[in-house]
Structure 1
């Protein structure tokens, strides 16, 4: 393709950016990053990728839940790749240290090597860069919503200027739909990085990048206008994405109200995000009660089924307004709604097996994640088993690696 590829070792030891930590990683977190980054790639989400995973032969001490109970775990190294690992934080650091010449040099290097579409000169190219980063970031947030990905630690050091998903820590794929769900135990007090807030936090992070670039761009109004446009750009992309997931030909009047009603239904009855859309593809081909019981994480009574039936009726009426055929609508849905997502409980089971020296589940998961829009293993496409509802590592995690 002619693009450069950077290679990074994660877990190989201390670096100048390790702060007071040891720079090591454990098998548990390394397996998670290795598999999830590849899963996101095959889902079509911009991401770093994993090249290899290996044990170091060392024992690494980690306090998994920061509960004062550190334990030894197997050490591991992930070799990951990306066109670039440049983050918002790289630019913030130079600006905070008032190293403005180096900051401008970094901007020039980044634009020259990673943004060939920017052909403008002088100060305009820095403005074009910031606009491009803002749009890539918004597009990435929309993709996270599409597949149900919760990052968990969206600080500016974990934001790629190329719009890639980077630094897989206490992430989670969505099981039951919940806009307030956070996958990070340390995020619980304020749920800053909750699923439904990821677009908002991305915008906040862009404000920090704007502050860092202001000494170079020197146009406060431009930066503010670009940031204020972010919300409209993001929500337009978000609504168009939902249209694709529902099989709508385009966004129409009253669709936003329809989406709000859908969100309320999903949260009220704790419906599985991925499985709901898989069911929607087969509307009319199954018994409503039987199938929705299989995708709910709570008990559904007659009142619940009545509400669900009313919503399905609304959906069928909306589908009739399409200017495309039902088959074309289904093609759109199947392209945007995966059959398989790498749920935390599957990663938990996989890690348990690997620590025993077994790799059968790992091999099956690799096949499944490479074909997420097909149902290779029906068992993996089912909702999270109840036995894992409150198991650490299956619902929520800490930042410990």
Structure 2
């Protein structure tokens, strides 16, 4: 069993998607192992602050783990978990001794340890001798295993450990009390696994329900498929403008004007005025909003459902999933691409804006 501890916000500028991509990248590596347990640390609610919450407050871990089961991966909220021994046998597949009570004693304060110097035959009895005495035949000593059933938050794993002459070949140590959290790469490699992960990760019901309630104020969701809903992800906040202006070696004001005009041109050629269009942005102060308003487009500005920026981004992500027509996105934005993968890509028409200007 591979147990890892992940720090998803090692830096103060760890935004929502950066934290999500940290989990994604780690899972993409872990899927190659047999059993994978990933303990996740705190989620940063607002960049450049000390405001955190549990990852279980953001992601519906039960639903997400149902999806990840096919990859033998389980996500665990480090600050809200239980660790138990559900079963333990010592012997072969057909002839074994129930040693659950003995093995349970090796779990103390979320630390489980059986060292390879421990003689299992002395602790649990020798399965070879027990079988010979009780049934009159011998079992192959090379086939004797220690099989332990673990549970983390009631999700069960069964691990088989090799033995030799009554000793484990390797130590069994799972220290969940004194972990060392490591960061990972923040990376989306656009593989099938990455796209599937981003599409299927489930956020808590508070996010999905409030997004649904908001969309119900725009259209009757009973007739969702009969309505065209466009979405525009507008990345025109000051931090974004300053970053990409620097990348393009332009003054921020000039860069913002160029990008605003790019949005307006795409809207003119792609979106009908009578179609419902949802705008996702953290800052509504820009010329694109002015253009939509002055030209009588049927557009909607979702309220910020949380004062913390990264929490508000999760709500926006869930609202954006209702897009079923034109989606104007930023090629260089992790939020734009994450939302793209979460949409029904069979029906949407993605239109990309490139912030790295040629």
Whether TM-score is above 0.5 comes out as no
TM-score, normalisation: structure 1? 0.21
Larger radius of gyration: 2
More helix by share: 1
Q: Which has the higher strand share?
A: 2
